[in-house]
């Protein structure tokens, strides 16, 4: 009995899963046959010498539990039930006599066998319909005539039917350690039903495959990203993500756009694309640098503040006169003047500092409330000097489409114009125009550069009479 309890303990240990492993479990039912005749007489199925000699098998039913340990290794525990007349000793011929066809039926006694062992699959299960196996293990049998321990070994065949259902064939030789005359052959055929998760090796293989696929996808995505970043459609040396004119070769100074006269103003913004000019005059020649192109400047050699490029009357030094009365009257007029107009340069600096603080909600023309004080400063400058006019320019970075940026910049310039009008500034003194991403003042490849390019400029001027 001590050996029996040792066998039970070992079987329980086999059923305990190892930490970190996931196993499948199968329950099987087999119809079996026990052959004591061959081992007792030495005449097996292929060793028959007489056609009258036959093999006699005792029927049995076998229940089994099979637990996966690895891809090709399973542990099994089986319980076999039968009824037979077993030889009890070397000189006992009752068993063999009972197997003779002419003999009468002897009293059958219940036979119980408990086996625990290992199955080794020569091929990975799940990949082939038929998988040959080798079986080995130990067991303990109970019979009224005798009990004992036996060891067994044999071959089998695992047949895949469906995802959870399999068939099994097995023939094993059971050698009786206690009494060798009780050695027998066992043949079984039946079905096994699997449930639970697959063996650890299958799970690991699937995981490795998934990780490999993810890594391959990441490599492809990285390569595609590098290709898109380094792509230069017009071959002008400026990557497409920094080029404002992707299909036209251009210069770095104009963000990849053509500039035939090389004056730093892109042709699509240049009012004089064939003649080198000044940025302040939008690409046209401006000899006196007053921002008015020479073609329309009525005073091309003299810096002027007026819209026609000429000095304002108050900027012209009055001619000397010998008439002291005239000089006195002019001095009196100057004395009586309550307030001189604010200097244009000072006003421009004040308005420029205020304009730099104007912010909009991202992607919209809605003026952020924190910008109201800056706009109020501009309103105060314009109200203080009614001669001042202002051009409002809207600019964006190169994020988004060209048309979308142009529309957004115009909407933001109009929003500032509406604010000034509602604050009491005459609409005739204000103009608003959007340039989109055409006039960057910083590098659009950096966040700081794009932030600087998203701006609204206020350009002050005093129109001529």
Do 166 and 305 lie in a common domain?
Answer: no
pLDDT tens per residue across span 329-380: 444 443 333 344 447 888 999 999 999 999 887 778 888 888 899 999 999 9
β-strand partners of 134: 120, 155
- pLDDT for 289 equals 75
126 plus 7 within the same structural domain? yes
Residues 171, 314: one domain?
Answer: no
Determine, yes or no, domain membership for 138. Answer: yes
Same domain, 329 and 394: no
Give pLDDT, residue 335: 38
Q: What domain range includes position 402? A: 344-461
Residue 337, pLDDT score: 37
Residue 114: inside a domain, yes or no? yes
The answer, as to whether pTM is greater than 0.75, is: no
Give phi and psi for 117, each to the nearest 5: -170, -160
Maximal C-alpha separation, the chain = 168
Residues 6 or more apart whose CB falls under 8 angstroms from that of 18 comprise none
Percent of residues, the chain, with pLDDT higher than 90: 28
pLDDT in the model for residue 75: 93
Choose the final residue of a domain: 319, 336, 353: 336
Q: Are residues 323 and 349 in the same domain?
A: no
Q: Are residues 36 and 179 in the same domain?
A: yes
Q: What is the pLDDT of residue 96?
A: 62
* Residue 209 confidence (pLDDT): 57
**What order do you get walking across the sheet with 430-434 strand by strand?**
430-434, 389-395, 455-461
The CATH number of residue 421's host domain is: 3.30.1330.60
Q: Are residues 131 and 157 in contact, defined by beta-carbon separation less than 8 angstroms?
A: yes
- pLDDT mean across residues, the chain: 77
Q: Which residues contact 350 (CB under 8 A, 6 or more apart)?
A: 377, 381
> For position 320, what pLDDT does the model report?
44
- Supply the CATH number for residue 139's domain: 2.40.160.20
Contact 278, 303 (CB under 8 A): no
User: What pLDDT, in 10s, does the model give residues 160-207?
Assistant: 888 889 999 999 999 988 876 688 889 999 999 988 654 444 444 555
- Is there a single domain that holds both residue 370 and residue 389? yes
Tally the domains of the chain: 3
Last residue of a domain, one of 336, 371, 397: 336
Low-confidence stretches of the chain (pLDDT < 50) are 1-2, 4-22, 91, 198-204, 316-342
The predicted structure's pLDDT at residue 8: 43
Identify whether the C-beta of residue 406 lies closer than 8 Å to the C-beta of residue 436: yes
């Amino acid at each position: 009995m001590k050996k029996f309890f040792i066998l039970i303990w070992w079987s329980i240990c086999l059923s305990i899963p190892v930490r970190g492993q996931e196993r499948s479990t199968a329950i099987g039912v087999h119809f079996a046959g026990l052959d004591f005749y061959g081992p007792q007489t030495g005449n097996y199925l292929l060793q028959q010498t007489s056609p009258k000699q036959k093999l006699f098998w005792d029927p049995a039913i076998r229940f089994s539990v099979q637990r996966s340990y690895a891809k090709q290794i399973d542990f099994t525990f089986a319980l076999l039930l039968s009824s037979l007349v077993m030889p009890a000793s070397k000189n006992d011929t009752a068993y063999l006599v009972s197997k003779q066809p002419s003999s009468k039926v002897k009293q059958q006694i219940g036979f119980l066998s408990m086996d625990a062992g290992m199955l080794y699959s020569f091929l990975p299960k799940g990949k082939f319909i038929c998988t040959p196996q080798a079986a080995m293990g130990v067991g303990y049998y109970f019979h009224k005539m005798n009990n004992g321990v036996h060891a067994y070994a044999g071959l089998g065949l695992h047949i895949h039917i469906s995802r959870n259902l399999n068939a099994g064939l097995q023939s094993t030789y059971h050698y009786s350690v206690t009494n060798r005359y009780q050695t027998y052959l066992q043949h079984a055929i039946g079905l096994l039903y699997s449930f639970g998760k697959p063996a650890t090796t299958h799970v690991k293989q699937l995981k490795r495959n998934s990780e490999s696929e993810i890594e391959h996808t990441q490599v492809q995505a990285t390569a595609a990203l590098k290709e898109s970043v380094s792509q230069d459609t017009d071959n002008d040396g400026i990557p497409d993500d920094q080029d404002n004119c992707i299909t036209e070769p251009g210069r770095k100074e104009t963000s990849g756009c053509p500039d035939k006269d090389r004056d730093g103003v892109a042709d699509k913004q240049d009012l004089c694309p064939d003649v080198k000019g000044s940025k302040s005059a939008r690409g046209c020649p401006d000899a006196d640098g007053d921002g008015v192109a020479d073609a329309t400047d009525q005073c091309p050699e003299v810096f002027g503040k007026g819209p026609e490029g000429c000095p304002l009357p108050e900027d012209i030094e009055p001619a000397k006169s010998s008439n002291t009365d005239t000089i006195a009257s002019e001095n009196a007029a100057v004395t009586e003047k309550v307030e001189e107009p604010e200097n244009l340069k000072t006003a421009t600096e004040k308005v420029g500092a205020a304009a730099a603080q104007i912010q909009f909600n991202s992607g919209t023309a809605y003026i952020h409330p924190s910008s109201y004080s800056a706009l109020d400063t501009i309103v105060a400058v314009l109200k203080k000097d009614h001669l001042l006019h202002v051009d409002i320019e809207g600019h964006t970075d190169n994020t988004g489409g060209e048309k979308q940026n142009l529309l957004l910049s115009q909407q933001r310039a109009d929003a500032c114009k509406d604010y000034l009008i509602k604050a009491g500034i005459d609409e005739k003194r204000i103009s608003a125009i959007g340039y989109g991403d055409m006039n960057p003042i910083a590098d659009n490849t950096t966040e700081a550069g794009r932030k600087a390019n998203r701006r609204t400029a206020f350009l002050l001027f005093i129109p001529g009479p």
